[in-house]
Structures are given as C-alpha cells and as structure tokens.
Structure 1
Amino acid sequence: MHYVKAKGIFTSDYGINIYRGCTHGCIYCDSRSEVYRFSHKFEDIEVKENAVGLLKRELIRRKPFMVVTGAMTDPYVPIEKRLQHVRKCLEVIYRYGYGFSCLTKSDLILRDLDLLKRINEKSKVVVQIKLTTADDDLCKIIEPNVCPTSRRAEVLKRLDENGIPSVVWLSPIMPYINDNEDNVNSILDFCIDANIKGVLNLDMGFSLRKGNREYFYGKLDEHFPGLRQRYVEEFGERNFIYSANNRKLKKIIENRCRKHGMLYRQEDIIEYMHEFPCASVQSKLM
C-alpha cells in the first residue's frame, strides 16, 4: 500500500476510484491489462489520501446524481476495513443528498449497511455484486482472496431484507472453467432467492488483454494443467474470448429473468443504476 495526493476524484463518467490496484487475486482481472498503465505493482494498492476532501469539494457544487465506484478497483479491498475511506465517502454522499452505486465481491459492504440504508431512504442505492461460479471450491481458485460465492449470496439476501436493491454481474464466464448450464442456473437461483433487480451479463466470455493474459495463463498452468495450450490454440491473442456456449447460456439468463421479473437487458440495467430520483430527493431535502 502507498499513498498519493490526487488532483481529482471523478472519472469522465462521474465514477470514483478511491483505491487503485487490488489484492483479491482474481485470476481473470482485466484491470491488470497494460492499457491501464499501472506504474506500480498491481497488489501494491494506491490510496488517494485526499479522496474524501476531493469528493466533498465536488459534491458541494453540483446537483445530486448517482456516485458510482468499483469499475477499476473493488472499493471494499481488505485495507478499507482499517482505513474506512469508502465509509467516509458514504457519509459525504449522504450529507449532500447524492445516490450511490458500487460493484464489489466483498462482504465488507455489510459493515456500511447503516449508511446504505440512510442514503437509500434519502435518495437511492444500488449494490452490484459479481458472481462468477456457484462452486465455492472453484471460487477459491479463481477469486482466492475474497469471500466465496455462498457468502456473497448471503450478502444479497441481507441487502434485500434491508430494502437495498441489488444487481448481479454474472461474469466473467471463462471457457472450459465455468461456462456450463449448471453454473449459470445455480447463480440464477441465488439471484431469484435474493429478489435482485437484474442480472448483467455482457457476453459469455471475458477480456484477455496483454498484461492480464500472462498472469491468467500462469494461473492456468498452476491450477488447470493443459488448459493454457487449449486457450492458445483456440483463441490466439484475441482481446476478448467467447465461450462456445455463449448463445445458449445467454438464452437461459433471458428466459429465467423474464419469468421472475428481473432485468436482463444491458441498457435497461445501466439506465436503472444511473437514473437519479430527482423529484423524490428534492422533497426529502426540503
């Protein structure tokens, strides 16, 4: 871990990244790719020491909207338990009447359930949880330093019990590892049981770009002997690889989401997550 003093807090699409880098150890993480130009070791997390102050400065002068985090780095990396930068940012978001949406794999988000409930009562919260495999043993291999899928399913149920809407990212789907019907159906069972708002799956596949590709292949050699060669022969140096089961698995998601009233179209879910309830918030702030 190391500290930097950032010049700004928002990305071009009004997302925030309090941390840069990650220690979850997920073997597929696209954030390792060279295109992101990390100047430090990926596991040496960069902490924006002035993030809370920058966020406050920006929110004071803007009209409320959904503040989003988690696109590049999980906001609930283990050091957050000690530093509490995300929690301090949530306090600022609540104070100024903004909404909040984040993407995480960590059950540490339940620590902030009190603040999430207060923000949701005042404006809006959407928690996005990534589920990759329903098999906890496989999860320990592909996402080794974060809570297993069964625990994330419990997190989804806790959120639902407290009136916090959630979206599940059913991804990434890796050929010959988790691209099968049993896995997808089991994850959808978790989603239905937790009454989630929608299931987001861009495609049954994942990004495999330079920088990430080398790390991923090393993990294949370690945990899935022989699979690296199959990837090399079948996918070459493609930046995105698709499962041969793409169409069939996406149809399963569509059919089951329709049946249970869950969103599944990418554009509908993105619109829902970013839509800010202006009228209701204004009345609560008056």
Structure 2
Amino acid sequence: MHYVKAKGIFTSDYGINLYRGCTHGCIYCDSRSDIYNFNHEFEDIEVKENAVELLKRELVRRKPFMVVTGAMTDPYVPIEKRLQHVRKCLQLIYRYGYGFSCLTKSDLILRDLDLIKKINEKSKAVVQITITTADDDLCKIIEPNVCPTSRRVDVLKKLDEKGIPAVVWLSPILPYINDTEENINSILDFCIDANVRGVLSLNMGFSLRKGNREYFYGKLDENFPGLRERYVEEFGERNFIYSKNNKKLKGIIENRCRKHGMLYKQEEIIEYMREFPSRFIQSKLM
C-alpha cells in the first residue's frame, strides 16, 4: 500500500475510485491490462489520501446525482476495513443528499448497510454484486482472496431484508470454466431467491488484453492444465473472447429474468443505476 495526493475525485461519469489496484486476486481482472498504465505492482494498492476531502468539496457545490464506485477497483478491498475511506464517503453522500451505487465482491459491505439504507431512504442506493460461479470451490480458484459465492448470496439476502435494491453482475464468463447452463441457472436461482432488481450479463465472455492476458494464462497453467493451449488455438490474441454457448446462455438469462420481473437489458440496468430521482434534486434546490 502507498499513498498519493489526487488532483480530482470524479471521472467523467461521476465515478470515484478511492483505491487503485486490488488484492482480491481474480484471475481474469481486466484492470491489470496495460491500457490502464499502472506504474506500480497491481497488489500494491494506491490510496488517494485526500479522496474524502476532495469528495466533500465537490458535493457541497453540485446538484445531487448518483455517486458510483467500483469500476476499476473493488472499493471494499481488505485495507478499507482499517482506513474506512468508503464509509467516510458514504457519510458525506448521505449528509449532502446524493445517491450511491457500488460494485463489489466483498462481504465487507455489510459493515456499511446502516448508511446505505439511510441513503436509500433519503434518495437512492443500488448495490451491485459480482457472481461468476455457483460453486464455492471454483470461486476460490478464480477469485481466491475474497469471500465465496455463498457469502455473496448472504449479502444479497441481507440487502433484500433492508429494502436496498441489488443488481448482480453475472460476469465475466470464462469459456470452458464457468460457461455452463447449470452454472448460469444456479446463479439465477440465487438472484430470484434474493429478489434482485436486475442481472447484468453483458456478453458471455470477457476481455483478455495485453497485461491481463499473461497473468490469466499463468493462472490457467496453475489451475487448469492444458486449457491455455486451447485458448491460444481458439482465440489467438483477441482482446475480447466469447463462449461458444453465448446465444444459449443469453437466452436462459433473458427468459428467466423476464419471467421473474428482473431487468436484464444492459441499457435499462445502466439507466436504472445512474438515474437520480428528480424530486430529490428539486428538494435540495428549494
């Protein structure tokens, strides 16, 4: 871990990244790709020491909107337990009447359900949870340093109990690893049972760019002997690869989501998560 002074806090779409780098160890992580220009080891997490201060400065002078985090780095990496930067930001978001949405794989978010519930009651909150496999044993191979799927399902149920809407990222899908009908249906069962608002599946595949590719292939050699050769033969050096079961798996997701009233179209889910209720904007301005 190391500290830096940040010049700004928001991305162009009002996202924030309090940390840069990650210790979850997911074998497929696109954030390792060379295009992101990391100048430090990926596991040596960069902490924006003035992030909370910068966020407060921005929130006091803007109209409210959805503050989003988790696009580049899971906000609930283990050091968050000690630093509490996310929690401090949530306190500001609640105080100034903004909304909140985050993407995580970690059960550490349970620590902050009190604040997230308050934000949702005051304006709006949406929690996004990544689930890639229904099998805890496989989860520990492809996402080794974060809580297993069964624990994430517990998080979804607790969110439902608190009335906090959730979206499940059923992504990424790794060909010949988790691209089976059984896996997809099992994850959807979890989603239905926890009353999630939507299931975001993108395409049945993932990005495999330079930087990430080398790390991923090394992990294939460790855990799935012979599969690297199959990937190289089938996908070459493509930056984005898809399961041969793409159409069938997408159909399963669409049909079951439609049947159970869950959002599944990417554009609809993104709009839902980004949209801030206009009545709260007006109330703040009055």
Interval containing the TM-score (normalised by the shorter chain)? over 0.9
Q: CA deviation at 1:149?
A: 0.4
Q: Quote how far apart the aligned CAs of 1:198 are.
A: 0.3
Q: Partners of 1:96 and 1:47 in 2: how far apart?
A: 24
Contact 2:133 2:149 in 1 (8 A): yes
Report if the CA contact (8 A) 1:70-1:104 is conserved.
Answer: yes
- SS of the residue 1:73 aligns to: coil
Alignment partners' CA distance in 2, 1:93 and 1:284 = 13
Q: For 1:262 and 1:13, how far apart are their aligned partners in 2? A: 25
- Structure 1 residue matching 2:241: 3-state secondary structure: strand
Instruction: Report the equivalent of 2:68.
Output: 68
CA RMSD of aligned residues (A): 1.0
TM-superposed CA distance for 1:244, in Å, is 0.1
Number of the residue aligned with 1:84: 84
Q: Secondary structure at the match of 1:74?
A: coil
Residue 84 of structure 1: CA displacement?
0.1
Pair 1:120-2:120 in alignment: yes
Give the AA of the match of 1:243. S
**Whole-Å separation in 2 of the counterparts to 1:243 and 1:29:** 17
Alignment of 1:44-59 (within 5 A): 44-59=44-59
Structure 2 residues not aligned, in runs of 5+: none
1:36 pairs with 2:36: yes
Which position in structure 2 is the counterpart of 1:151?
A: 151
Once residues 175 and 204 of structure 1 are traced to their aligned partners in structure 2, the CA distance between those partners, rounded to angstroms, is 8
The unaligned stretches of length 5 or more in structure 1 are: none
Q: Distance in 2 between matches of 1:278 and 1:248?
A: 39
Return the offset for 1:283: 4.2
Q: How many Å separate the matches in 1 of 2:265 and 2:227?
A: 32
Tell me which amino acid in the other structure corresponds to 1:181. Answer: E
Question: Would you say the 8 A contact 2:208–2:240 is kept in 1?
Answer: yes
Task: Output one character per residue of 1:11-38: Cα deviation in whole Å (capped at 9) or x when no partner.
Answer: 1111000000000000000000000000
CA distance in 2, matches of 1:164, 1:98: 15
Q: Within 5 Å, which residues of 2 pair with 1:221-240?
A: 221-240=221-240
Q: Is the 2:103–2:129 contact (alpha carbons within 8 Å) kept by the matching residues of 1?
A: yes
- Distance in 2 of aligned mates of 1:283 and 1:93: 16
Kept in 2: contact 1:87–1:112 (CA 8 A): yes
* Conservation of the 8 A alpha-carbon contact between 1:28 and 1:216: yes
Per-residue displacement from partner, 1:201-224 (whole Å, max 9, x unpaired)? 110000000000000000000000
**One-letter amino acid of the counterpart of residue 35, structure 1:** I
Q: Which residue of 2 aligns with 1:200?
A: 200
Number of the residue aligned with 1:21: 21
Q: Does 1:102 align with 2:102?
A: yes
- CA contact under 8 A between 1:28 and 1:142: conserved in structure 2? yes
Q: In the aligned structure 1, how far is the partner of 2:274 from the partner of 2:284?
A: 19
CA shift, 1:2, in A, is: 0.2
- Give the residue type in structure 1 aligned to 2:115: L
Identity of aligned residues (%): 86
Do the aligned partners of 1:122 and 1:281 also contact (CA within 8 Å) in 2?
Answer: no
Q: Which residue of 1 aligns with 2:248?
A: 248
Q: Which runs of 4+ in 1 moved over 4 A?
A: 280-286
Label 1:147 to 1:285 Cα distance change in 2 as closer, same or farther (>3 A).
farther
Tell me the secondary structure at the aligned position of residue 140 of structure 1.
Answer: helix
Instruction: Name the SS of the counterpart of 1:10 in structure 2.
Output: coil
Asked if the contact 2:97–2:122 (Cα under 8 Å) also holds between the matched residues in 1, the reply is: yes
Distance in 2 of aligned mates of 1:281 and 1:255: 36
Cα deviation, residue 278, structure 1: 2.0
Does the aligned pair in 1 maintain the 2:63–2:281 contact within 8 Å?
no
Go from structure 1 to structure 2 and tell me whether the alpha carbon gap of 1:112 and 1:285 turns closer, same or farther (over 3 Å shift).
farther
CA shift for structure 1 position 150: 0.5
2:202 maps to a residue whose letter is L
CA distance in 1 between counterparts of 2:268 and 2:278 reads 19
Aligned with 2:127: secondary structure? strand
CA drift at 1:284:
7.9
Retained in 2: the 8 A contact 1:169–1:201?
A: yes
Secondary structure, aligned partner of 1:100:
strand
